[in-house]
Structures are given as structure tokens and as C-alpha cells.
Amino acid sequence: MQKTKYWHRLDNAAKVFPAVSKSGNSNVFRLSFYLTDQINKDLLNEAVNIALKRFQIFNIQLRNGLFWNYFAENKNFFEVELETSNVCEYFKFSKNKGYLFKVYYLNNKITLETFHSLTDGTGALEFLKAITFEYLTLLGVKLDHEGIILTKRPFTNKEDEDSFNANYDPKIKKKLKETKAFKLTGETFDDDWTLVMKVKLNVKDVLKLVKEKYNVTVTEYFTTLIAYNIYKEADLTKDKRPIKIFVPVNLRPYFDSQTLRNFSLYVKANFDTNHKWTFLEMLDLTKQLFTEQLNQMELQMHLGSLVGLERNIFVKFVPLFIKNIFFKIGFQVLGESLNSSSISNLGIIKLPEEMSKYVTDVDFINSGPSLNSALVTYKDQLNFSLNTVFKDISIIRGIIYQLRDDGLDVTINTNYREGYDEIL
């Protein structure tokens, strides 16, 4: 039976976002499915509200407690909207019936934009899969869910678990030491508009390239690609701090978690800008850094440090409004300056076979106050999306040229239209 009254604490990753999110730093990410036909708004509305009944972690609103925020049930009817021009735009929950996500439709595309306090890419993907499945079912399509659509499976408490706390071991932690990173600067677009460049690649070609030519993983290759082009194109003369690429890591496979809430940490690829780099040298270092950081013990220690801080008795009993002031100051001083860029790999999207006939393409777009990128693989295509606030696209140009020079067949799509540089 579904609960109608429920609440839960914010997980470790979710706690900071409500205090530090604002226009221009929305902490919202986007997932889209392209279908074969135009979207029917009314049916999509119905589909979202059906899926919401099953997805307790989305059917919530953010509330203030004395010491921490918490999520409480949301009984409002959710309404989908026509997509807007700004990708991953900051939104006020009070203007969205309290919900922390938005569902948009545009032509044949269903888009889910999720505030990061709610969940990470894995959780959002499950929700979008369920919405699309329910939508197709409402259209009259007979589909077999093959056990991978959550609305067709019974609810388990494991989905609602705070896996950060469930896997916390107070004895295993390390001291986190973060230094500032090289920061991309430049003229930005007006009105918080960001430029999206979607690079479509053949997944077999990419795998052949990374395995046979470079002997690295897809994420290692693209992480290095970004770092190397920042190194080549950005003005490093004034800012000598290292280039740091932030790479989120899904912790579920490492800790056997089924949670739909946030459960990811990150690894970082750091490159000293005083060193003379070649792409291959950078790639070797990325591989080494990933190997060092991507193991159960390292991740457990990292998790321990973050949860340990949250469990500190002084932190616990500081009233929320004071915590929020500290979050804001901390984020202003450090938050935006700890990374040069980010890349998130959602992996391979698996849909029930019959359903996949109706879903032609997938988008995964990340936001942030700099250059952010994301990878997603669906069918035989790997989509690499770059999202930037800067008008100068020389880094993006360098990345695309390098992909082309590595022998890949590159197709690009963008939200840019002629004349935007004059009005934005």
C-alpha cells in the first residue's frame, strides 16, 4: 500500500543545494526522451500524476524545520508545461506547486528537469522511464515492462533509503582537503541563457577509439578531452591554479544500494597548469587518478568524511537559518571555485524492448556557472552535451575538432540560433 502521509530528512548531498541555489546556479539537471510522435499534453499530465503516486521521493515538497529542511508529502496536482528557452533554469518551488522538478513537452520530446536535492541522474532516469511508459500506455500502446519500469513493481523501502547514512562507518573517514581550481572566465550570455551543444557520436566508434587507441574508459577519455582543451584554449597566464574536472560517481554499484535518492560522490582529475602537457600525458594521469579514487575503500572514506561532518553535534544543533548563512558564505567563498569544469556520465539507457521502439533519442544536460558536460548512451548513439554560460566557445570548438581528428563522425545540434549573439 502507498503511504499518503510521509516525510523524510534530506540526504547528505541534498542539504546544501536549497541554501545555495539561485538564478544562474540552479543545480538543476535535464533528462529528455524523444518519442516517435508529437506529445499529447493532457495524456502526459495524466502519466506524470500516475507515476508520482509510485515515486514517493518525487511526490514531495521542501519544508523548513528548526535545524534542517525536510521533505514532506505533496498533495497538489502536478501540471506539465511547454518547454522554455532556458535549459536547466532555476525555478522557485512555490511557483511550481511545491514540486522540486518540472516536466516539459516540446514537439516529440518529454523533458524532466530535476533539482539536485531530490535525486541524482539515476533516480531521475527511473522516474522519466516510468512517466514515458505510463504515457505510452495511456496512448493505447501495449507494452511489456520487463520488470524494469518501477511503476509496475511494488514499492520497497530500499528505494527511499538514505544510503549515505546507511553506509556510514564512523571509523572509516579521511580528511578532505580541497584547494581552489583554475576558473574559466569570460563574457556570459544575458538572462541566464546557456548555450547547449549536443554532440552525437556512434557508440561503437567511440568504444573502439577509447579501447584500441587509448586503452582507457569512455569517461576517462572525455574527462581528459575537456581538461586538455581548457589547458590549450583558456588563458592560463593570470590564474596558475590547477585545472580540476569534477566527475560525479554513482555509488549504488559500490554499496549495493537501490535508492532512488541522491547517492553519488565525485572524483577529481587535477592537472597542474605549470606543466607542459600532451593529450596522452593527461590521459595517463586521468587513468591513474581514477584508479586511485574509484575503489570501495576510497569512496567509503570520502563518504565517511561528509556524513561525519553532518553528524557533528555542533552542526546538528545550529538552527537552520544560521546553517543557511554558513552554507551561502561557504559556497560563495569556495563552492564555485573548487572545480574548473564537470562531466557526468549517466551510462547506457536500457528500456523495455517494445518501449524502445517509441523512444528515438535521449538527452542528458547538466547545468552550472561554467562549462558543464554530460554523457549518455542510447541504442547505437553516444550523446555528449556541453552546456556553457560563456560566449567564447573556443574550448568547445577544440573539443569538437579533436573528436573529429580522432576519426569520429561528428554531428552537432544546438539551442543557438543566428542572431542570438546580438540579443543575448
Partner 1 sequence: MKYCKTCKIKVDAPLETCLICSDVLETIDQNPPANDFVEYVEKSNKFEVFFKGLLLLNIMAIVISLSVDFILNRQLSNWSLIVSVSNLYLILFVKLITSHMKFVIRLFWIVLLSILELIAIGYLTNDYYWALDIVMPLSLVFNTILLIIFTFSKRKRWQDYVMFLIISAVASMAAILFPFFDIAKTNWAYIVSFFFGMFTLIGLFIFSPKDMKEEFLRRFHI
What residues make contact with partner 1 under the rule CB under 8 A? 5, 7, 9, 34, 63-68, 70, 72-73, 75, 82-85, 87, 92, 94-95, 106-107, 109, 191, 193, 196-198, 200, 316-317, 363, 393, 396-397, 400-401, 404, 409-418, 420, 423-424
Using the minimum distance from each CB to partner 1, give the nearer residue, 118 or 395.
395
Using the minimum distance from each CB to partner 1, give the nearer residue, 208 or 404.
404
Place of cell 540552479: 26
Using the minimum distance from each CB to partner 1, give the nearer residue, 172 or 424.
424
Using the minimum distance from each CB to partner 1, give the nearer residue, 6 or 214.
6
Using the minimum distance from each CB to partner 1, give the nearer residue, 85 or 291.
85
CB of 388 to partner 1, least distance (A): 12
CB of 374 to partner 1, least distance (A): 15
Using the minimum distance from each CB to partner 1, give the nearer residue, 179 or 411.
411
CB of 201 to partner 1, least distance (A): 11
CA dihedral sign, ordered 403, 404, 409, 410: positive
Q: Which amino acid is at 364?
A: F
Residue 171 cell numbers, joined: 571509523
CB of 70 to partner 1, least distance (A): 6
CB of 33 to partner 1, least distance (A): 12
Using the minimum distance from each CB to partner 1, give the nearer residue, 74 or 300.
74
CB of 83 to partner 1, least distance (A): 5
CB of 75 to partner 1, least distance (A): 5
